[in-house]
């Protein structure tokens, strides 16, 4: 074997080991991908986008904390949680992409704001930038992971084999995320006067976005046996949140509801002001350099 230059000798006969994401990038290669009988595949794609976008957008928000968290271990923890959610997003967007004829990257980077189906809780700006706070980020992580864990627990029984498999796998990850948020909530809520105040303020900031999590969308209502009706999760999630808040000596904020636009919110592609800025940062590289891969 002879090589013309040093790089060739490094490459050997296969260059696929040069970067993550090359050579084996199809997220669902070999997974049972049959569509369940009688399911409307357009609805299934929309539902996969909902759950996938929740994970993708919240993952982007969490990764903003990398190098900005209060301590090194927390940088790593939030980045690990973001990575788990990004993995869930890849699988779910790939599933949607099978119906829509698009790749996961096209869905993540080339859709515009109105085409994203995530809940507002995933997109609002809780820091580390101006106006944000670590307490608010923990409050959001607590609510989001408690809700998604309850959802995935039921989604294990979905008639769609991909959704059931994603849920079975993601369930264990989300249990770690929820425990992490719950332990921080107790530490901060039952900590100093300052940490208590900021944790309570964090809850007040995210609470108006809780109601949307449990509102049944028409797509979810139509996908009987495939989707989970989020309204059915409310009492379980409330029980978990109450247990954490009580241990943390925090009070549950009054039930307020963020405004909708003509009855529509994130699931309909109607987003808050924060979403455009988030997408600009997340998508600009791919859009500036079309076809670029790592």
- Nearer Cβ to another protein, position 45 or 82? 82
Calpha distance 102→245 (Å, rounded): 42
User: In whole angstroms, how close is the CB of 62 to another protein at the nearest point?
Assistant: 12
User: In whole angstroms, how close is the CB of 30 to another protein at the nearest point?
Assistant: 2
- Nearer Cβ to another protein, position 170 or 208? 170
User: In whole angstroms, how close is the CB of 167 to another protein at the nearest point?
Assistant: 9
- Nearer Cβ to another protein, position 180 or 271? 180
Residue of 43, 62, 64 whose CA lies nearest to 54: 62
User: In whole angstroms, how close is the CB of 241 to another protein at the nearest point?
Assistant: 10
Binding site for another protein (CB under 8 A): 12-14, 16-17, 20-25, 27-32, 73, 76-77, 79-81, 83-88, 90-91, 149-150, 153, 156, 161-162, 164-166, 168-173, 175-176, 178-180, 182-183, 186, 236, 240, 243-244, 247
User: In whole angstroms, how close is the CB of 40 to another protein at the nearest point?
Assistant: 23
- Nearer Cβ to another protein, position 46 or 81? 81
User: Dihedral of CA 28/171/55/180: which sign?
Assistant: negative
- Nearer Cβ to another protein, position 90 or 271? 90
Residue of 79, 82, 62, 174 whose CA lies nearest to 125: 62
- Nearer Cβ to another protein, position 170 or 269? 170
User: In whole angstroms, how close is the CB of 266 to another protein at the nearest point?
Assistant: 22
């Amino acid at each position: 074997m002879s090589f013309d230059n040093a790089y060739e000798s490094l490459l050997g006969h296969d260059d696929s080991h040069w970067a993550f994401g090359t050579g084996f990038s199809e997220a669902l290669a070999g997974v049972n991908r049959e569509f369940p009988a009688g399911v409307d595949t357009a609805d299934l794609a929309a539902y996969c986008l909902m759950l996938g976008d929740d994970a993708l957008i919240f993952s982007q928000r969490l990764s903003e904390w990398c190098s900005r968290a209060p301590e090194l271990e927390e940088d790593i923890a939030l980045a690990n949680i973001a990575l788990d959610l990004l993995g869930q997003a890849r699988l779910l967007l790939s599933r949607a992409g099978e119906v829509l004829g698009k790749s996961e990257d096209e869905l993540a980077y080339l859709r515009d704001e109105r085409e994203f189906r995530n809940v507002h809780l995933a997109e609002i700006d809780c820091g580390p930038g101006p106006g944000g706070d670590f307490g608010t980020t923990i409050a959001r992580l607590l609510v989001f992971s408690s809700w998604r864990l309850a959802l995935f627990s039921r989604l294990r029984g979905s008639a769609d084999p991909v959704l059931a498999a994603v849920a079975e796998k993601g369930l264990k990850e989300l249990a770690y995320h929820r425990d992490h948020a719950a332990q921080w909530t107790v530490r901060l809520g039952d900590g100093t006067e300052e940490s208590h105040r900021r944790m309570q303020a964090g809850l007040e900031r995210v609470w108006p976005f809780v109601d949307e999590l449990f509102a049944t969308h028409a797509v979810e209502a139509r996908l009987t046996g495939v989707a989970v009706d989020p309204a059915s999760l409310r009492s379980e999630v409330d029980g978990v949140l109450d247990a954490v808040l009580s241990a943390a000596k925090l009070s549950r904020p009054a039930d307020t509801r963020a405004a909708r636009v003509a009855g529509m919110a994130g699931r309909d592609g109607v987003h808050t002001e924060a979403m455009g800025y988030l997408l600009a940062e997340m998508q600009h590289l791919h859009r500036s350099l079309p076809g670029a891969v790592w």
